[in-house]
Amino acid sequence: MTSADHSPILRSKHLLGIDGLSPLDIVALLDLAETYVVQGRASDKKTALLRGRTLINLFFESSTRTQSSFELAGKRLGADVMNMSVKTSSVSKGETLIDTASTLNAMRPDILVVRHQDAGAAELLSRKLDCSVINAGDGAHEHPTQALLDALTIRRHRGSFEGLVVAICGDVLHSRVARSNLRLLSMMGAQVRLVAPRTLLPCDAERFGVEVYTDMKSGLAGADIVMMLRLQLERMSGAFVPSAREYFRFYGLDREKLSVAKPGALVMHPGPMNRGVEIASDIADDVQVSLIAEQVEMGVALRMAILDALSRGMT
Amino acid sequence: MKRIAFRNARLIDPASGLDAKGGLLVENGRIADVGPRLFNDAEPNDPEVIDCRGLILAPGLIDARVFTGEPGAEHRESLESASAAAAAGGVTGMIVMPNTDPVIDEPSLVDFLLRRAAATARVRVHPAAALTKGLLGETMTEMGLLKEAGAVAFTDGDRSVANARVFRRALSYAATFDVLVISHAEDPELVKGASATEGEFATRLGIPAAPAIAEAMMVERDIRLVELTGARLHFAQISTRAALEAIAAAKARGLPVTCGVAAHHLTLNELDVGAYYTFRKMRPPLRSEADRAAMVEGVASGVIDVIVSSHEPQGADTKRQPYASAAAGTVGLETLLPAALSLSHNGDAGLSQILAALTAAPARIFGLPGGTLARGAPADLVLLDENEPFVVDAGKLRSRAHNSAFEGRKFQGRAKATFVGGECVFDAR
């Protein structure tokens, strides 16, 4: 059960970032993903679209949901999926990456999904490999499939993006999710706000065409969507934020802060969550406002759509 | 309703520019009325009338740099003893530094200080909390929670944050909550082990010394970081012309920086160390006469915003030592006003300007009520005689520690009575 029309969707053979996609590309991918949502809810979830194709998950950073989401997406489309988790040594990362690339290239994969701690790693691999490369997160640069699955989730609840107020809250500085999301949402006509202490805001954030807030209640006032970001543990012990308790007091999403958002506002989180740090448990678990579980479901469907779209250019 | 009528006063309110004979009415701890014509038509008909006999009635002083020993070294100074010294010096509000044991780097400790002050102190106590945990210069404190607990500013007290990355992030974080950071500007490595300003005098005495530029270097670095982060920064006490010029230039560029100077850097120079006189060992140390004169100029020109005592009690154990081993610091709450008034007596700065640096300016910079005679302001007042001559007798100071750099010094002008919230906390009329 795939889109009957197999015409090409993407101009590029890679998906390296939201940069490089047009609004039409995005709409086409989201439309295609809708068909995979249906397929994912059927009892027979599997097709043979990618039968004979090889997909390699190459993760230099640990990941549970993204890696398993790609694995499931590949398997549901009938591809052979191989997971490679690479423990990096601190020495000569550049060399290791290129060496790894040429080794993998010799195995003749069709699609490589890569996550790496350094920005630009996916782009580098795309130049060294013959197959399609999907960026599953590179440093603090981009995580395009997360932004696309977030967009799919939002569109299913709000219909369109035009004029939606989306507040992205938390560790924007280190977040590739925030960067991909603000690119995509701005492109699609949403009004994006960034909410964070100044220590977690990137330099010149205003120049991305977003509004920047350091006071969370001001930033959430009238928001349609509240998108929380994960704060990594090592960043809450003094260097960027003095403590988890202070962070939760001023930047954690609780009922009181959420109350200033638009009535019916929805809450998202890319996971994994730190309950009591960036989000209160009762909000995370409230199915009336939290889209967190749905984001995971949309992740598989969206990644199936990406694999489908990239495979259309393959001979 | 408790009322006190002050009549026959010379009212000086630097915040409004008022300098005129007149009266002032206090109701329930606040200033209810003030002005030249008050009580002109009829004698006040109040239970308590204070005839000021032409003495100056001004806002109580706010001393923006006070070290006490509470908690942890109460034998040197408690909030109670410091506040008694403050009251006797016309000081109605003091900003206390976090360099105590334990360090004030926790919201609960700010709360403790405020409770102790409410229970024991005669004047208002405004805690400055640590900028970095344990004053170690490594990780920032919980500025949001500390601000909510009542901290009025953030500083490592008499320590500089050497690590520019840490200081940059702390300033960014402070800007998030719009809180004031106070910097002690001395390059810590350059001044390590030094107890005087490098120069001929220190060389003759053979005292380990550090170059005066250690201050301007840090001031210039900090100004760059202010420009980057947008944080409000106050230099606690500068002492050199180079630092003054750097701050003047930063202010001219519109950067949110302010600065203070200690009374002893306006009135003493390096030669006053004399024969290894440890009560005049300071941090930063006493400077050359040219730098002292520059500080006086800075007050007169307004580049220097506030005058502080930098009150730092030390015991005989820490001061009765060879010069290099002795602790730095001087008590100063009771001599702040007389020392500052010497600028007026010498014709270097106007009385209203000097009082502004002791009242309105610190109130504005630290966001405190008071520092003004405006209606509705808390009735924190000092009645002062600007001309009364006296000799400093350290043995008679109210401070628990008697390490005064001004021992034996002749001054003109002192507080005669001090009121906090309309209550008389000191009376020497």
pLDDT tens, B261-305? 999 999 999 999 999 999 999 999 999 999 999 999 999 999 999
Q: Which residues from chain A sit within 8 angstroms of residue B151, using beta carbons?
A: none
Residue B386 CA to residue B314 CA, distance in Å, equals 29
Q: Which of B172, B179, B225, B232 to mutate to test the interface with A (most CBs of A within 10 A)?
A: B172
Q: Is A214 touching B (CB cutoff 8 A)?
A: yes
CA distance B73 to chain A (A): 28
How high is the pLDDT of residue A95? 64
Query: What residue in B sits closest to A250 (Cα-Cα)?
Result: B144
Residue A4 CA to residue A91 CA, distance in Å, equals 49
- In this prediction, residues A275-304 reach a mean pLDDT of 96
Q: Which of B132, B135, B138, B140 to mutate to test the interface with A (most CBs of A within 10 A)?
A: B140
Cross-chain CB nearest to A198 (options B138, B145, B175): B175
Cross-chain CB nearest to B138 (options A197, A238, A241): A238
Q: Which residue has the higher pLDDT, B40 or B245?
A: B245
How high is the pLDDT of residue A254? 97
- In this prediction, residues A288-294 reach a mean pLDDT of 96
Q: DSSP H helical segments within B207-303, as ranges? A: 213-229, 241-252, 263-267, 289-301
ipTM: 0.90
CA distance A3 to chain B (A): 49
Q: Is B108 touching A (CB cutoff 8 A)?
A: no
Q: Is B169 touching A (CB cutoff 8 A)?
A: yes
Q: Which of A67-71, A91-95, B416-420 is the least confident region?
A: A91-95
Considering only residues 234 to 293 of chain B, which have any Cβ-Cβ distance to chain A shorter than 8 Å?
A: none
Using only C-alpha atoms, what is the Rg of chain A?
Answer: 19
Q: Which residues from chain A sit within 8 angstroms of residue B142, using beta carbons?
A: 242-243, 245-246
Whether A233 has a pLDDT exceeding 80, the answer reads: no
Q: Which of A172, A198, A216, A251 to mutate to test the interface with B (most CBs of B within 10 A)?
A: A198
Q: Which residues from chain A sit within 8 angstroms of residue B133, using beta carbons?
A: 238, 242
- In this prediction, residues B168-172 reach a mean pLDDT of 97
Cross-chain CB nearest to A214 (options B138, B140, B176): B176
Whether A2 has a pLDDT exceeding 50, the answer reads: no
Residue B425 CA to residue B296 CA, distance in Å, equals 31
Instruction: Calculate the CA B172 to chain-centre distance.
Output: 26
Q: How do B91-96 and B124-129 pair as beta strands?
A: parallel
For residue B165, the SS3 value is helix
Inter-chain CB proximity A214 and B229 less than 8 Å = no
CA distance B38 to chain A (A): 46
What is the 3-state secondary structure of B383-415? EEEEEEEEECCHHHCCCCCCCECCCCCEEEEEE
Element at B62 (helix H, strand E): strand B61-66
Cross-chain CB nearest to B142 (options A239, A240, A243): A243
Q: How many alpha carbons fall within 13 Å on the CB side of residue B190?
A: 17
CA distance B105 to chain A (A): 11
How high is the pLDDT of residue B288? 97
**pLDDT, tens digit (0-9, with 9 covering 90-100), for B375-384:** 999 999 999 9
Q: Are B18 and B359 in contact (CB under 8 A)?
A: no
Query: What residue in B sits closest to A243 (Cα-Cα)?
Result: B142
Residue B141 CA to residue A301 CA, distance in Å, equals 44
pLDDT band, very low/low/confident/very high, at A100 (cuts 50, 70, 90): confident
How high is the pLDDT of residue A91? 43
* pTM across the whole model: 0.94
Query: What residue in A sits closest to B139 (Cα-Cα)?
Result: A238
In sequence order, the 6+-apart residues with CB closer than 8 A to the CB of A155 are A30, A161
Inter-chain CB proximity B145 and A245 less than 8 Å = yes
- Spell out where A230-301 has E strands: 266-268
How high is the pLDDT of residue A197? 97
Closest CA to B358 of B50, B7, B14: B14
Q: Are B239 and B214 in contact (CB under 8 A)?
A: no
Q: Which residues from chain A sit within 8 angstroms of residue B226, using beta carbons?
A: none
